[in-house]
Chains A and B, each alone.
Chain A
Amino acid sequence: MWEVVVGLGSCGVAAGGLAVQQRLKELLEPEKERLVLKETGCIGLCYREVLVEVFEDGRRRTLYGGVTPERVNRIVEEHLRRGRVVAEWVVDREEVLAKQKRIVLRNCGEIDPTRIEDYQARGGYRALEQAVTEMTPEQVIETIAGSGLRGRGGAGFPTGTKWRLARASQDEHKYVICNADEGDPGAFMDRSVLEGDPHSVLEGMAIAGYAIGAGEGYVYVRAEYPLAIRRLRDAVAVAREKGFLGRNLFGSGFDFSIRLKEGAGAFVCGEETALIASIEGRRGMPRVRPPFPTESGLWGHPTCINNVETLANVAWIISNRAEAFRSYGTENSKGTKVFALAGKVRRGGLVEVPMGTTINEIIYDIGGGTVSGGPFKAAQLGGPSGGCIPASLGDTPVDYEQITATGAIMGSGGMVVMDESTCMVDIARFFLSFTQNESCGKCTFCRIGTKRMLETLEKVCAGRGKPEDLDTLAELGEQIKASSNCGLGQTAPNPVLTTLRYFHDEYEAHIKGKCPARVCLALVEFGIDPGKCNGCGMCLKACDPGAISGQAKEVHRIDRSKCVKCGKCITVCNRDAVLKV
């Protein structure tokens, strides 16, 4: 029996995966005894979606990329019926996977996330059984502590220590919360794990519950992830049916149940005290710590909050022992890290590398370099809380301390690659407008300081900047970091401070009236490429100030004295003839 597997993570669906699945269903229906159609979560090679993988009897596997309903016909006809691989559409997995080590993503793209049997067949829920029947809670905590696992949400707090603190708090009620409020723009690691392997997270939560003495868990998941929510809800129900959640797990007397809470769209709710406020039904405003949630969290009870990726590591560590996990990584950062690789990189997708892998290796060896083929200019790590690491520091290894030393942060795992056509001042402005918008408003420096910084950056991007503005930015940035209560404010200036540090010349160029990447419209001039313009008149009609002239079917011209640089001509031109110079 052969299996045909369609990748139906959100990326796959967005790329048209459902239509591909539908076509396969129609074509395979008469042969369903021999050809079984299955689905899986994110395979990780997002740049080649839609992905379809064929497993033959001998388990030879062939991965097809860029599949469309039309291409399905040929794959079915040639490969599935006649056994001849359609070589031109095959994706070379090894090229991308060679430098990766998959612990968190061990099942993503390998199993059908809707079938608990698939998860069990790969050892699922055996770690939980082992923990509750053969280990004391203290032994579980010591194993996790001994593995060196640190929080994958970004801050890198040692997970074993957190569990120990939560265990030490005396209370009848304790909670485990899985933080699945993945809010960084450009990050989709947690979503992919929840969609592709939800049981690994549930199993990690149950083990955490056993370790700290909690009987109840919550998954706080972004409402913007409808597929992840559906997968989680189904996974909780079936795990309960099978006795992996609920009362008296594996006859050990340990009870554990899990509930879902949908977030309502507030970036600050990724902060643990804000997240708790949100579950309690209030505005998600962070409060001052201590007391830390491990002493007083949800409804005032001790609460252990771990991120999705952290929890997805737990069962693997219990099954494979702490030493196996420790064998990957650097001195202070053990195991692996998942990154969502995106931006101007050739092979974007979900990658998991051993800690210690350098940024260059991720971008060039795994990501295949930039789209343009030139060198990358910067890699943005950690989203709005992180910073831009310049190409000159490309040898920086993935390690909490070493990344922090560059001024960026490890963050939750977004890695956006930028090249010469990215303006670093514009990127700083982009992130600051995000955090400014998301500031809850509690601390003055975060509320007003970010606003003043944003105004200054907008001025610089509009060509109205003055040299002293750069000093103001640096000064305000440091003050906001020092005077904000929570992580959002403390890290909000990072994108600005790191670009000021590594790309100061670009800021200076803006002040002198030039945007080297030609992104900031106010600082570029518009022109028309006579080689491309066919005189269709679209731009002429669209130009409100009447700066464009030209006869039909003749090359048009832009009168720069009338041009207001709105960019409308670029958006209407069908031939890419409008130039930014």
Chain B
Amino acid sequence: MDPGNVKEIVVPAFGRMLWRHSGEPGMLIPLLQAAQDSYGYVPPLAIEQIAEATRIPASEVFGVITFYKQFRLRPLGEHIIRVCKGTACHVLGAEMIAQTVGEELGITRDETSEDGLFTFLEVACLGCCSLAPVVMIDDQAFGRLTPQKLRGVLRRYRKKADRAA
């Protein structure tokens, strides 16, 4: 494709990948992953650019995006809260943990708090079952949680953000 078309791309990883794309098959998902890595979600512009580069219709690109749970069409909050809903976590009270996140932040799953600070996601399994129930905030895991402990953790994050602001 014409490199002139990717001028708007400010984040290099995705731009480089698009630019290098030589039409080899099977690159659609890696391109979408690169777009999401760069922007935090897959913006409409990236969909258009990927469609053009791969010669796959935008509608089909959209179909792939919505099939896989990894891809998001909306930007995320500053902190991502992943509540593990794996089996081990479930039998050790993940439902109460999820409820606590909802109550504390005033949002339901897949939503972002109004201040843009938190996005609340539920995930199938984080794979640290012996620490159940587990919540992951950004890259940090919090294990053996109780609703009370979790409230403390969330409030610390909020305080930190308030201080920064």
A residues adjacent to B (C-beta < 8 A): 10-11, 13-15, 46-47, 49, 182-188, 191, 223-225, 261-267, 278-284, 299, 340, 342-344, 348-349, 380, 383, 414, 416, 418, 422, 427, 430-431, 434, 440, 542, 567-568, 570-574
Contact = CB atoms under 8 A, between A and B. Distances in A.
A180 B103 CA distance: 36
A299 B26 CA distance: 9
Interface in B97-154: 99-100, 103, 123-132, 134, 136, 141, 143, 147-148, 151
A383 B90 CA distance: 12
Nearest to B94: A430
B86 interface: yes
Given A14-B141, A46-B130, 16 more contacts: A10-B127, A15-B128, A46-B128, A224-B126, A261-B30, A266-B69, A281-B27, A283-B67, A342-B87, A342-B129, A342-B132, A343-B91, A343-B132, A349-B130, A431-B87, A573-B148
Contacts of A187: 125, 127
A49 B136 CA distance: 17
A225 B125 CA distance: 10
B64 interface: yes
Contact of A185 (B87, B130, B141): B87
B68 A264 contact: yes
Contact of B99 (A266, A380, A440, A567): A567
Contacts of B30: 261-262
B127 A191 contact: yes
A283 B148 contact: no
B33 to A, nearest CB: 6
Contacts of A344: 91-92
Q: Which of A15, A49, A185 has the most CB of B within 10 A?
A: A185
B128 A11 contact: yes
A242 to B, nearest CB: 26
Nearest to A383: B87
B127 A568 contact: no
A267 B124 contact: yes
A371 to B, nearest CB: 9
Given A10-B127, A570-B96, A265 B68 contact: yes
In the A-B complex, the 4 residue pairs with the closest CB atoms: A186-B87, A46-B130, A14-B141, A342-B129
A571 B147 contact: yes
Contacts of B87: 185-186, 342-343, 380, 383, 414, 416, 427, 430-431
Nearest to B26: A281
Contact of A11 (B33, B91, B131): B131
Determine the interface band of chain B, counting residues with CB < 8 A from chain A.
35 or more
A280 B143 contact: no
A469 B128 CA distance: 36
A414 B124 CA distance: 14
Contacts of B47: none
Interface in B75-89: 85-88
Contacts of A182: 127
A164 B20 CA distance: 39
B88 A186 contact: yes
17 contacts: A11-B130, A11-B131, A14-B131, A15-B128, A49-B130, A186-B88, A223-B33, A224-B125, A265-B69, A281-B28, A283-B64, A299-B25, A383-B87, A414-B87, A422-B91, A567-B99, A571-B151
A570 B148 CA distance: 9
B91 A416 contact: yes
B32 interface: yes
Given A185-B85, A568-B103, A571-B100, A434 B124 contact: yes
A47 B130 contact: yes
B29 interface: yes
A385 B123 CA distance: 18
Nearest to B65: A264
B63 interface: yes
Given A264-B32, A264-B68, A343 B63 contact: no
Contacts of A185: 85-88, 90, 124-125
Contact of A342 (B88, B99, B124, B148): B88
Given A280-B25, A283-B63, A571 B70 contact: no
Contacts of B136: 14
Contacts of A267: 124
Contact of B125 (A186, A263, A431): A186
A518 to B, nearest CB: 12
B39 interface: no
Contacts of B63: 283
Contacts of B85: 185
B83 to A, nearest CB: 12
A500 to B, nearest CB: 19
A105 B49 CA distance: 45
B69 A430 contact: no
Nearest to A344: B91
Contact of B26 (A13, A191, A280): A280
A299 B131 CA distance: 41
A262 B26 CA distance: 12
B91 A264 contact: no
Contact of A264 (B70, B127, B131, B132): B70
B29 A15 contact: no
Contact of A13 (B28, B88, B100, B141): B141
A571 B25 CA distance: 50
B86 A186 contact: yes
A147 B122 CA distance: 42
A262 B38 CA distance: 16
A225 B124 CA distance: 13
Nearest to B127: A188
Contacts of B91: 343-344, 416, 418, 422, 427
A363 B126 CA distance: 23
Interface in B19-66: 25-30, 32-33, 56, 63-64
B12 to A, nearest CB: 19
Contacts of A572: 147-148, 151
Given A278-B29, A342-B130, A570-B147, A264 B69 contact: yes
Contacts of A14: 126, 128, 131, 134, 136, 141, 143
A263 B124 CA distance: 14
Contact of A281 (B25, B129, B148): B25
Contacts of B71: 264-265
A253 to B, nearest CB: 27
A262 B31 CA distance: 11
Q: Which of B33, B99, B123, B129 has the most CB of A within 10 A?
A: B129
Q: Which of B85, B96, B131 has the most CB of A within 10 A?
A: B131
